[in-house]
Amino acid sequence: MFNFKEKIAEEIAKTIQVEKSEIVKTMEIPKEKNMGDYAFPCFRLAKTLKKAPQIIANEINEKLGKCDFIEKTEVVGGYLNFYVKKEILAQAVIEEFETKKENYGKSEYGKGKNIIVEYSSPNIAKPFHIGHLRTTLIGNALYNTYKYLGYNTIGINHLGDYGTQFGKMIEGYKRWHEEYTFENPIEDLTKIYVRINELCKEDENVLELCRQNFKNLEEKKEYEVSLWEKFKELSLSEFYKIYDLLDVKFDSLNGEAFYADKMQEVIDILEKSGKLIESQGAKVIDLEDKNMPPCIICKSNGSSIYATRDLAAILYRTRKYDFDKCLYVVAYEQNLHFKQIFEVAKLLEIDEKYINGLEHVSYGMVHLKTGKMSTREGNVIKVEELLNESIERATKILEEKNPNIENKEEIAKKVGIGAIIFNDLSNSRIKDEIFDWDNILNFQGETGPYIQYIYVRTKSVLENAKITPNAEKINTADLLEPEAIDVIRTIYNFEDTLKSVTDKNEPYILSKYLIELAKNYSAFYNNYKIISEDENKTNARIYLTYMTNVILNKGANLLGIKMPDKM
């Protein structure tokens, strides 16, 4: 497609001594439509050129040659704004769309690059609660988007299937398993976990027994291993009920336990570095010079810790996947942990490119109105219950609005789950969320159901028109109304939006884009008859509707949302 940003940057580069690539990086899309299609901020040049930004903008504007794709330029403060000719913009979008259609926005931007996305990673023998939903949805959206842009993407579910907590679970199971039926296995295991934690608080001897159980598990003692395998099997069967509802898949389920026999190599390398020291019986890497507490590699009783397993995972992934980026979609509560292991990873004798590719994609926590959730305290919202509740509420709304609708269950499932997904991905991932049923299940405003509703409207228009969208029949002069240009401009920005999602690892950028596209199309639909007596206008507007339909569907799918045919 004609790249307006590149071409404008090329023209600007002819007037000042700045590389085109640098100009492209600083160019912006104005927030207000009346400020043009692109803006070049001149503030950064002020120091170098020793002139006020507005003077620089005026000088560049005066030196610019005539561009056949630019309608006009305008200096506003320290910005030089560019207005693209509407007919050329419309033609560029239609030609590109006609070539790619359902693959519009797809590219080879990431060709030859390997991206690992580690996400979801629930703990075995614990409920899959609302906190796990965030990492699952953020990670899945990133995985889908990277893949669509041509990256070789590997999705890893790094299961929490190892650690001291299993020593506690084993101890609790030994003591109380006869009291439970395990008809709802995760529920009963959670009850046992809450009970054993309470007992550990009261009795240090019990905590020591738990530690010994984990030591036995590490040493592959038969009884402890058999219980661990049972907990894992029961848990995965429950987790996959949720993954199936969300249609989330992974390329690898290698969790912490997978790296148990790979930790010794990490310890050996760290020993060889001379940085592994003893502290109160434990083996640690001193990070005082980095203003961080020491990173524990081995506990005083010889047991490993999850930092050691994460380091073993890094070493394994460099060899297995030769990654360019390894993204960890984990809550910001683990910020210190990742800073520590990324720093210690520098001692692992691996190429610097792998160190540079390690990235903690942190996100805010989900809190109840009453405070923080905790498995130990037993106050969590279970995701399966949440999703089913949302589907039930969507069913009631559909029955009220359209009682005779066909495939009601299937539609309610798409609307209910779509509402949950969009709610989670509609704001910057770093923000904390207060979990509130009323907000999540609000079907008005900037929500998933709103995007689905506009999509269904476009689908209905296309079906009622009984006209096959045909780019050859379009005269771009029939698509120059302001509302039509708003839709076209938004469609043009689809690929750049996806690139921004991956550049910043922020799915909400795509969520906001879809709301903008839906609103722009709604304004167009409300102001103009799509099917009219003017055949040329009808063909043009049907094609605009078709493009909107495809992009809304594709964008929603990348977020993990499925579109209903009716609502």
**One-letter amino acid for residue 57 of the chain:** A
Number of other residues whose CB lies within 10 A of the CB of residue 511: 27
- Domain match, 309 and 160 both: yes
Give the CATH number for residue 181: 3.40.50.620
Torsions phi, psi for 40 (to 5 deg): -110, 110
The SS3 assignment for 124 reads: coil
Q: In the listed set 315, 342, 372, which residue is the last one of a domain according to the structure?
A: 372
Please report whether residue 519 resides in a domain. Answer: yes
Where is average pLDDT lowest: 260-264, 320-324, 383-387, 479-483?
Answer: 383-387
State whether residue 250 is helix, strand or coil.
Answer: coil
For the chain, the domain total comes to 3
Range in 60-69, 87-96, 555-564 with the lowest mean pLDDT: 60-69
Out of 372, 402, 430, a domain closes at 372
Is 255 a residue whose pLDDT tops 60? yes
59-63 contact pairs (CB < 8 A, 24+): 59/15, 60/12, 60/15, 60/16, 63/14, 63/15
pTM above 0.75, yes or no: yes
Provide the pLDDT confidence category of residue 556 given band limits of 50, 70 and 90: very high
112 within domain boundaries: no
Nearest to 137 by CA among 445, 350, 448, 352: 448
Q: Is residue 58 one of the residues assigned to a domain?
A: yes
CA-CA distances (angstroms) from residue 385 to 120, 122, 234? 17, 16, 18
Q: Is the pLDDT of residue 435 over 80?
A: no
Catalytic residue annotation: 126, 129, 132
Per the domain annotation, does 567 fall within a domain?
Answer: no
Q: Which residue has the tokens 């509407």?
A: 86
Of the residues 320, 337, 372, the one at which a domain ends? 372
Q: What is the pLDDT of residues 6-25, one digit of tens each?
A: 999 999 999 998 899 999 99
Domain co-membership, 356 together with 498? no
* The 3-state secondary structure of 345-413, one letter per residue: HCCCCCCHHHHHHEEEEEECCEEECCEECECCCCECCEHHHHHHHHHHHHHHHHHHHCCCCCCHHHHHH
Question: pLDDT tens, 274-327?
Answer: 999 999 889 999 999 999 999 999 988 777 788 999 999 999 999 999 999 999
Same-domain status, 18 and 139: no
Q: What is the pLDDT of residue 383?
A: 87
Comparison of pLDDT for 439 and 299, the residue scoring more: 299
The whole-number average pLDDT for the span 176-204 is: 92
- DSSP, res 481: S
pLDDT of residue 402: 86
Residue 346 lies in a domain: yes
Category of 466 on φ-ψ map: left (φ > 0), alpha (ψ -120 to 50) or beta: left
Q: Are residues 391 and 531 in the same domain?
A: yes
What is the token pair recorded at 273? 């570095």
User: 61: burial class by Cβ within 10 Å (0-12, 13-18, 19+)?
Assistant: middle
Query: What pLDDT digit, counting tens, does each position of 221-244 carry?
Result: 999 999 999 999 999 999 999 999
Q: Are 546 and 488 contained in the same domain?
A: yes
Is residue 56 scored above 90 in pLDDT?
A: yes
| Residues 388, 366 within the same domain | no
What integer pLDDT is reported at residue 369 of this predicted model? 66
Write out the DSSP string of 184-246.
SHHHHHHHHHHHHHHHHHH-HHHHHHHHHHHHHHHTT-HHHHHHHHHHHHHHHHHHHHHHHHH
Angle at 245 between CA 243 and CA 248, to 5 degrees: 40
Torsion of CA 52, 53, 54, 60, to 10 degrees: 110
State the Cα–Cα distance between residues 42 and 57, nearest whole angstrom: 6
Distance CA 307, CA 337 (A): 7
Query: Residue 82 forms beta bridges with which residues?
Result: 38, 73
pLDDT of residue 221: 94
Token pair listed for 291: 């203003």
Residues 482 and 351 in one domain: no
Please give the pLDDT value at position 326. 98
CA 242, 244, 248, 254 dihedral sign is positive
Residue 389's domain comprises 383-559
- Please tell me whether residues 501 and 555 are part of one structural domain: yes
Is 203 a residue whose pLDDT tops 90?
A: yes
Pairing relation of β-strands 325-331 and 114-118? parallel
Q: pLDDT tens across 119-159, in order? A: 999 999 888 888 789 999 999 999 999 999 999 999 999 99
**96 occurs within a structural domain:** no
User: Do 346 and 242 reside in the same domain of the chain?
Assistant: yes
CATH code, domain carrying 57 = 3.30.1360.70
Would residue 114 count as lying in a domain? no
Quick one: 75 and 180 in the same domain?
no
Q: Are residues 172 and 260 both part of a single domain?
A: yes
User: Can you give the CATH number for the domain in which 509 is found?
Assistant: 1.10.730.10
Question: Same domain, yes or no, for 487 and 342?
Answer: no
Asked if residue 404 is part of any domain, the answer here is yes
